[in-house]
Amino acid sequence: MDYSDFSAEDFALDEHFQQWVLAPDTNTARFWHRWLQAHPEKEPVIREAEAIVRQMSKDSDAPAAGREEAVWTNIYSHLRREEGFGQTAPSRSRQLRRPVFATYLPAWQKMAAGLAGFLLIAALLLIINQLMGTRYTTGFAETETITLPDGSRVILNANSSLKLSPAWHSDQAREVWLEGEAFFHVSKKPGAGNARFIVHTDHLQVEVLGTQFNVNNRRGKTKVVLTEGKVKLNDQDNDNNLLMQPGDYVEYSNQQTSFSRKKVDPLLYSSWKNNRLIFTDTPLGEVAHRLEDHYGLQVVFRDESLRELAFTGNFPANDLSFFLQVLSRSLDIAVTHDGNQIVIDQQPENQAPTLPE
């Protein structure tokens, strides 16, 4: 479909776009990331549409089985209200149509009506952004450095998002919500106000004060590595908490219901912020997860036993081809890279390593 002429409302009503915003998978994430790269001028429109979809989804109380239909209906009703029409949503197959009477309006009245509608939607989006807080997102193989209102710095890894609480006042905790991975360098908050800084993940609250640490919130687990300072982990569901020391690696999920802690070199877990991929005796299955999360690739093992192979190496993150070649040679395995898929298999006997293209 040609999206080049779509408005924010058009995107918000598109099912493929809704899926990317509300329940993204590898295919939709890759498609919209590439589309935005090809149409950077449309990013403000995309962000407006994303805010509309998220707000309408938040307003929907429908059960899971009917949530998609309910979200679509809410979006349509919201847009119709903004245009001053009735609130009854038609079936999905019906397209938005301009009212018949609009055809007969003088040109200057059409322009005035269009401008008024644009200003009304812009004001609505501003209110939504204030209520929902600022959100930062990155695509595959992309990182972004963010300076927060208090001077703290966050380096957001690929395929991740960070949402800030709507307002950071002197008497309130500083709160952010992370999906994916990020490295935090938290500044101490001046004055006598509440200096707490809290990172929310799927399973934990990471409470910090003047510290540097890495948080990975993917695949149903939260992994925290402390570089310096103090970090307190709170699991409110199971009433667990843990105070971390520099060099600690802690992993937690709701399935575990307990913290798993070990000592590590923190630099190995935050090397991505310096555009490096570093592995030390890392199982090949975990290496595959890194490739899928960072580049949006699908890794297929023809032989499941290969997942347990240990791999060690240090590579630039922007040279995937070189990395795959070294992986193939060092473990003597066949690695094939075709489009969005990487296939890993045993190396045929008496044959040189099969290198990716």
- pLDDT (average), residues 35-47: 82
Q: Are residues 239 and 284 in the same domain?
A: no
Domain of 321, in residue numbers = 275-346
Same domain assignment for residues 149 and 259: yes
Residue 94 has pLDDT above 50, yes or no: no
Res 96 pLDDT > 70: no
- Say yes or no: 261 and 298 in one domain: no
Locate tokens 């890759």: which residue? 30
**Among the three residues 65, 97, 132, which one is the final residue of a domain in this structure?**
132
pLDDT class of 83 with cuts at 50, 70, 90: very low
Say if 2 falls within a structural domain: no
- Identify the bridge partners of residue 249 per DSSP, sorted by sequence position: 225, 262
User: Domain boundary residue among 235, 268, 301?
Assistant: 268
On whether residue 34 sits in a domain, the answer given is yes
pLDDT in tens, 222-256: 999 999 998 999 886 767 889 999 999 999 887 77
> Is residue 356 one of the residues assigned to a domain?
no
- Domain identity same for 122 and 92: yes
Note the pTM of the prediction, 2 decimals.
Answer: 0.61
Residue 196: phi and psi, rounded to 5, are -65, 145
164-192: b (≥16 Cβ within 10 Å) or e: bbeebeeeeebbbbbbbbbbbbbbebeee
Give the residue from 247, 268, 289 where a domain finishes. 268
Residue 173 has pLDDT above 60, yes or no: yes
Does residue 295 belong to any structural domain of this protein?
Answer: yes
Instruction: Let me know if residue 81 belongs to a domain.
Output: yes
Q: Domain check: are 281 and 230 in the same one?
A: no
Q: Is residue 316 part of a domain?
A: yes
CATH of the domain at 260: 2.60.120.1440
Q: Is residue 1 part of a domain?
A: no
Instruction: Give the number of domains in the chain.
Output: 3
- Is residue 121, in this structure, part of any structural domain at all? yes
Residue 343 CB contacts under 8 Å (≥ 6 apart), including other chains: 300, 302, 334, 335, 336
Same domain as 185, residue 199: yes
